[in-house]
């Protein structure tokens, strides 16, 4: 079963970026905006990708099934969706002797089709019927992405983790930028300063993993720096104190793990320093 032709229904950011990448890989791709409705003729593609909103997937699947656009070929066609929190069962109405379904969720941040993420090296969670998974995996290879299937995976928790990082990081940048502006930086300069910093964090995570990617005062056990941060935030940007407390508290276990795993000479009093930081963050008054 070789992937040669792909139809993508949904020409938003995800659909457009995937179409561009698959075409670049040499596959025949038809990109159809959902607003134009379903294809008028039977779909002859090997793989159909529903790159539509999560709350539209089941409805589009039902319409495809009712229209009889799939399942007429001798070869099995795979139908996949790109939602993170939904499994293959949302496409169940499409299942037929020659129609297989699956989830194919790219774990990347798609913000703008004109400024797409780098697909190469990104992960895609693929799960569902064997035939659909095989076709989805071929699509991932064409995009130079890494397909992964995790048995018994909690997809809602998986999606929550992705949102925590991808969406939460943007909110965190917004908060950090507001603090920089309050400190005296021009808004445009503040944003420009933070992008390379965030990129360096991602590079550290990729190269070093956790907890080694952690840097800063908590890793050093610098109680004074944390106390100074809290005092200045409380005075200048009090709305950010709670966020700082939560995120800095989350660093303490990483710092403890780093200290425990260190091959260097033991940091005297490290445990007490981390305890003091945790205590300060729980009650900064």
Distances (CA, A) of 73 to 42, 43, 45, 62, 152: 10, 9, 9, 19, 32
Q: What is the pTM of this model?
A: 0.91
Mean residue pLDDT of the chain comes to 94
Model pLDDT, residue 137: 98
Query: Is there a contact between 209 and 254 (Cβ–Cβ < 8 Å)?
Result: no
Mean pLDDT across the stretch 134-156?
A: 97
Over residues 3-44, the pLDDT tens digits come to 999 999 999 999 999 999 999 999 999 999 999 999 989 999
Radius of gyration of the chain (CA): 24
User: How would residue 263 be classed by pLDDT, with cut points 50, 70 and 90?
Assistant: low
Model pLDDT, residue 284: 66
- Please say if the pLDDT value at position 285 is more than 80: no
Model pLDDT, residue 264: 56
Mean pLDDT across the stretch 184-212?
A: 96
User: How would residue 57 be classed by pLDDT, with cut points 50, 70 and 90?
Assistant: very high
């Amino acid at each position: 079963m070789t992937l040669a032709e792909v139809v993508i229904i949904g020409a938003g950011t995800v659909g457009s970026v995937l179409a561009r990448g698959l075409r670049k890989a040499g596959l025949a791709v038809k990109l159809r905006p959902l607003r134009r409705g379903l294809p008028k003729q039977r779909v002859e593609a090997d793989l159909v990708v529903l790159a539509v909103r999560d709350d539209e997937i089941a409805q589009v699947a039902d319409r495809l099934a009712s229209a009889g656009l799939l399942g007429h070929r001798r070869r099995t066609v795979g139908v996949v969706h790109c939602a993170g929190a939904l499994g293959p069962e949302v496409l169940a109405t499409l299942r037929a002797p020659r129609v297989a379904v699956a989830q194919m969720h790219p774990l990347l941040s798609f913000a703008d089709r004109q400024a797409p993420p780098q697909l190469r090296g990104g992960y895609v969670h693929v799960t569902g019927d064997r035939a659909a998974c095989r076709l989805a995996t071929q699509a991932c290879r064409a995009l130079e992405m890494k397909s992964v299937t995790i048995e018994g995976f909690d997809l809602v928790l998986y999606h929550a983790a992705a949102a925590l990082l991808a969406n939460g990081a943007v909110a965190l940048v917004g908060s950090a930028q507001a603090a920089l502006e309050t400190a005296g930086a021009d808004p445009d300069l503040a944003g420009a300063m933070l992008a390379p910093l965030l990129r360096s964090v991602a590079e550290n995570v990729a190269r070093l993993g956790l907890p080694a990617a952690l840097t800063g005062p908590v890793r050093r056990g610098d109680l004074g720096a944390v106390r100074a941060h809290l005092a200045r935030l409380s005075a200048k940007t009090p709305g950010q104190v709670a966020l700082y407390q939560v995120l800095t508290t989350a660093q303490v276990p990483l710092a403890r793990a780093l200290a425990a795993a260190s091959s260097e000479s033991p940091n005297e009093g490290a445990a007490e320093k981390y305890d003091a930081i945790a205590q300060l963050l729980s009650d900064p008054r």
